[in-house]
């Protein structure tokens, strides 16, 4: 494989992304490939500091535009420091959230519209995932799962109507890019979800061989 693959997982809180990242890692490692898994916001030393600011539940005065710009700043560093170098080495990069999260959360959830995509064109340099798995879960169900898992961060504590706007954003992204974005029903069992993701990955590898 001359260039690696860039795989992202998206979805609301409590969608089960972390479990499936582990499964995808296993899928590629069993094929003898090197896997890098990372997350947004974060993924680099600078990005993790920005993540702490973004998710701190005490930062209630943060404006939507400030939020958008900090996410984009973390992403710009992440792409250039970590993601692109790994892809150039032929590695598999699996990322928990990427630009789709900004579109869903800031363009739709915060109502910032087209400026979010424009800012992120500069942040990513045009980099786009080879495949994205959208873990589709009803926001109320996701909120309940996340609450059981532990303390909620600033975004998770937003009112439910915000999370439904985010959900509609994800739906529109998936509808507009069906070749890249694969909807996965996150209410199914872990094994059922894994098998469906593996099927999509097999198809992806068959297309690029």
Farthest CA pair distance, the chain: 50
Stretch 30-38: mean pLDDT, rounded? 97
Position 13 scores a pLDDT of: 82
Which residues span the domain enclosing 143?
Answer: 5-208
How many angstroms separate the Cα of 143 from the Cα of each of 80, 84, 97, 158, 198? 33, 33, 17, 10, 27
Distance CA 190, CA 193 (A): 5
Residue with tokens 């296993």: 26
Exposed / middle / buried, residue 138 (Cβ in 10 Å: 0-12, 13-18, 19+): middle
Distance CA 24, CA 200 (A): 11
Q: Give Cα 105 to chain centroid, integer Å.
A: 11
CATH number of the domain where residue 12 is located = 3.40.50.300
Alpha helices in the chain (DSSP H): 17-29, 45-55, 64-78, 84-88, 99-102, 115-124, 139-149, 160-176, 190-208
Neighbouring C-beta atoms of residue 78, cutoff 10 Å: 26
Is residue 125 within 8 A of residue 119, CB to CB? The reply is no
pLDDT in tens, 155-196: 888 899 999 999 999 999 999 999 999 999 999 999 999 999
Number of domains into which the chain is organized: 1
Is residue 129 within 8 A of residue 8, CB to CB? The reply is yes
pLDDT in tens, 80-131: 999 999 999 999 999 999 999 999 999 999 999 999 999 999 999 999 999 9
């Amino acid at each position: 494989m001359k260039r690696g693959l860039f795989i992202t997982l998206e979805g609301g809180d409590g969608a089960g992304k972390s479990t499936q990242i582990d499964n995808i890692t296993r899928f590629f490692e069993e094929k003898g490939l090197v896997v890098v898994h990372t997350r947004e916001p974060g993924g680099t030393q600078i990005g993790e500091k920005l993540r702490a600011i973004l998710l701190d539940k005490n930062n209630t005065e943060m404006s939507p535009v400030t939020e958008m710009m900090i996410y984009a700043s973390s992403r710009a560093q992440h792409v250039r420091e970590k993601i692109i170098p790994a892809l150039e080495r032929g590695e598999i990069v699996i990322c928990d959230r990427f630009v789709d999260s900004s579109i869903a959360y800031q363009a739709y959830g915060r109502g910032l519209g087209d400026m979010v995509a424009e800012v992120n064109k500069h942040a990513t340099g045009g980099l786009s995932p080879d495949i994205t798995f959208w873990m589709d879960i009803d926001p109320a169900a996701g909120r309940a799962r996340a609450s059981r898992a532990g303390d909620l961060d600033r975004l998770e504590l937003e009112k439910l109507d915000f999370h439904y706007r985010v959900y509609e954003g994800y739906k529109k992204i998936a509808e507009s890019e069906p070749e890249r974005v694969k909807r996965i029903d996150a209410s199914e069992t872990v094994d059922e979800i894994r098998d469906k993701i593996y099927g999509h990955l097999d198809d992806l590898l068959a297309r690029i061989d």
